[in-house]
Chain A
Amino acid sequence: MKKLLAVFLAVFMLFSLAACGGGEEAKTPDNPVIRMSTTTSVNDSGLLPYLLPVFEKATGYTVEVQSAGTGAAIQKAKDGNADLILVHAKASEEAFIEEGYGVERLPFMYNFFVIVGPAEDPAGIKDGAENAAEAFAKISDTESTFISRGDESGTHKAELKIWGENVPDAEKEAWYINAGQGMGACLTMASEKGAYCLTDKATFLSNKDSLNLEILLEKSDDMQNVYSLIECNPEKLDGINTEGAKALIEWMMGSEASELIAEYGKEQYGQALFYLEQ
């Protein structure tokens, strides 16, 4: 028993030593865990796994990322389970702040949604549509199959905004499929059914190889997709790691992160996936 204890102690001391060995740059902060609630698109595109290790190494913080649809991501923060959020649904973000849960909305990067579909393009979007609203009208006119996220995510809200008052009724219109699933699952379904789908470009490009889909429309103004950071309000919610949230936001808005974000995707896809907010 004593022997065992000695071994444990020795191991423990070794680890403590190793922890000290990190030296000047990574002093562990008092409250080292930062909880970030974000949407699937940011996490699935690989951006956070690419950025955060750099931040963690520089500051000694550990960032725990929970990813879900924007609706759930915001709800988790409202329940006090996050220190900051990174989402892309302006109206919900403003409501979040209005209700006192968030401190300030900081738009820091954007990209574009794209409309993907089968190469045959039965609705004639590639050559016939100037913007997303026109493309959607063509899809609706030709009753071509369209997969909707239907999960109140940022992407779903963007889709509804493009439809405007002409949102198809999923019960009556068989071509309008309300999938109620994540981006990846919806793209797979679109590929299977030869259907159209609105997606963020990053998720599409990172799944492209397994999909029989092509980008048919991109970079139209009505498909801009702005991501914001919001620090959760410690006056409203208990147990918020304010220092951590501030440190992470400051770093994300800083020059080092900006350079990394601007470079992200160029190597793998030959193009940037996110652009910085000017």
Chain B
Amino acid sequence: MLMNMDRELLQIIGVTLRMSFFSTLISCLVGMPLGVVMAKSTFKGKRTIRKIIGTFMGLPPVVAGLIVYLLFTRYGPFGSLGLLFTVEIMVIAQCMLIIPVVINLTESILSVNVKGLTETAKGLNFSKSKTAFLLLTENRFSLMSVVLTAFGRSIAEVGAVSLVGGNIQWKTRVMTTAIMLETNKGNFTFALALGIVLLLISLAVNILASVMTKEDIK
């Protein structure tokens, strides 16, 4: 059954992976340093910020999509960029959803051994940035699982990407929106087959994640 739309399916998987890869990359580049700051330093208002991040972790994807849509609509503040209904804008919406998760997970992983490590670093007279770097590399395996969690969230999201991406064939259609479309068409079995493909990709990602976390424990 899946063979029938071989070429289109491959293209959809390609767009899905491209979108998820860039969402994950940007989210981690932004979120992880912020997570380090949250774990390492004490400052006024930290608890409030943590609460805000916690709230944003619960942001419904559709709402994130709506906000991004309103920002980039033709007469919106960034409308002139013409980004609506492109893969780029899907990445932007995804980042909005994933960055809070990355910050939160990074902080909770690092906070376990942040104290001992910063004291050692102080004793060795390391600079602040070097300490942060050390903190990240020491925990690189558990942090890999953050990356994979971000990827998993990104690949499974549907509400925001269909709103801002538009589910356009050969352009912005991804696995989840394709499943939604087939369901709307009444092709329930085909939708399920696509779901299984998505599930297999997720499974591969998760196996990778668990293998990496185990390495860290050793």
Please count how many residues in chain A sit with their CB below 8 Å of the partner chain's CB atoms. Answer: 27
Task: Tell whether A26 is near chain B: CB-to-CB under 8 Å.
Answer: no
In addition to A74-B186, A76-B186, 4 A-B residue pairs with Cβ atoms within 8 Å of each other are: A69-B186, A152-B186, A179-B169, A185-B166
Instruction: Give the complex CA separation of A153 and B182 in angstroms.
Output: 11
Task: Tell whether B184 is near chain A: CB-to-CB under 8 Å.
Answer: yes
Contacts from A to B (Cβ < 8 Å): 68-69, 71-76, 79, 150-153, 170-171, 177-182, 185, 189, 191-193, 212
Are B187 and A181 in contact, CB atoms less than 8 angstroms apart?
no
Nearest residue (CB) in A for B7 is A171
- Chain A residues with Cβ below 8 Å from B177 are 180
Nearest residue (CB) in A for B73 is A192
Known interface pairs A189-B166, A192-B74, A192-B85; A180-B173 also in contact (CB < 8 Å): yes
Nearest residue (CB) in B for A212 is B74
Task: Tell whether B185 is near chain A: CB-to-CB under 8 Å.
Answer: yes
Nearest residue (CB) in B for A186 is B166
Instruction: Give the complex CA separation of A161 and B74 in angstroms.
Output: 32
Are B186 and A73 in contact, CB atoms less than 8 angstroms apart?
yes
What are 27 A-B pairs with beta-carbon distances under 8 A? A69-B184, A71-B184, A71-B185, A72-B183, A72-B186, A75-B187, A75-B188, A79-B188, A150-B169, A170-B170, A177-B168, A178-B168, A178-B170, A179-B167, A179-B168, A179-B169, A180-B169, A180-B173, A180-B177, A180-B178, A181-B167, A181-B181, A189-B85, A191-B74, A192-B85, A193-B85, A212-B74
Instruction: Give the complex CA separation of A150 and B177 in angstroms.
Output: 13
Instruction: Give the complex CA separation of A191 and B84 in angstroms.
Output: 12
Instruction: Give the complex CA separation of A45 and B186 in angstroms.
Output: 22
- Chain B residues with Cβ below 8 Å from A72 are 183-186
- Chain A residues with Cβ below 8 Å from B142 are none
Known interface pairs A72-B186, A192-B73; A171-B170 also in contact (CB < 8 Å): yes
Known interface pairs A189-B85, A192-B84, A193-B85; A180-B168 also in contact (CB < 8 Å): yes
Known interface pairs A185-B166, A192-B73, A193-B85; A180-B183 also in contact (CB < 8 Å): no
Which of chain B's residues 160-174 have a Cβ closer than 8 Å to chain A? 162, 166-171, 173
